[in-house]
Structure 1
Amino acid sequence: MNGPAHQQIDEMEQALRADGMRITRQRSAILRVLAESDDHPAADELHRRTREMDPTVSLATVYRTLSALEAHGVIHRLTFEGGGARFETADSPHHDHIIDMDTGAVIEFRSEKIERLQAEIAAELGYDVVHHKLELYCRKR
């Protein structure tokens, strides 16, 4: 494995070590699944995928690993209405989300028009945007 996924895994391993955790075979599998995910898996889905690589991984190990990674800011916990927490690596460029209310699918998107409009509205009210998140809950036509 090369490139961005390898770099993400290195960063996540450093965060776990900083939290006093050893990088076990099970944790390595969890980190690899996280780094290779192109969606926003929930803990139970992450557990299922990781068990395909290493059947000995427990759900408790997944939760402890996610908690440590989140505490160190290398992953983000996303909580969408009507669903449990989902996770994504923190190194991706800013984006917003569309949540398909029928399927639960989460689609990432970026719109320069929306970014510009938010900055304009904030400026009109005397503010600079420091951080924001936009979630659109949608149904297919």
Structure 2
Amino acid sequence: MLTKKLVKQNFIHFALLLGAVLVLLSACDSGNNPNGSAGATPTSATVNSASAIIRHSPSGTVELMWDHTSHVLTVHMALTGLTPKSTHPAHINAGSCKNGGKLVYNLSSVKATQIGFADVITRVKDVTGGFLRLAGISM
């Protein structure tokens, strides 16, 4: 009973950690602008109003499942709001935005459909230690 409680508690910690990593990774996206700035230069001295329609605001979920008997980690990513027909590399690192850290696992590339949706499942074999190892938690 105590083991189930510890596993459940560690899974919750790992899910929160993964959510934070995903938020940090989305914040690390510098876009394609080589100048590092975005904006428009007004053509007149006065700008009364401005508006923009943001069509690409990615969001989604990532679900991790680890089978303790086969040692297979299944990563299921379901994303929407991607640029249509775009491709994005995906991986799990042991770091943060500031310091990417060591690559732990390569995942299948995220390939958006013509409407900006992606549904990707990657199975990683020989993952020992499960979520605890990925989250850096030791017992």
TM-score by length of structure 2 reads 0.30
Q: Which one has a larger percent helix, Structure 1 or Structure 2? A: 1
TM-score (norm 1): 0.30
More strand by share: 2
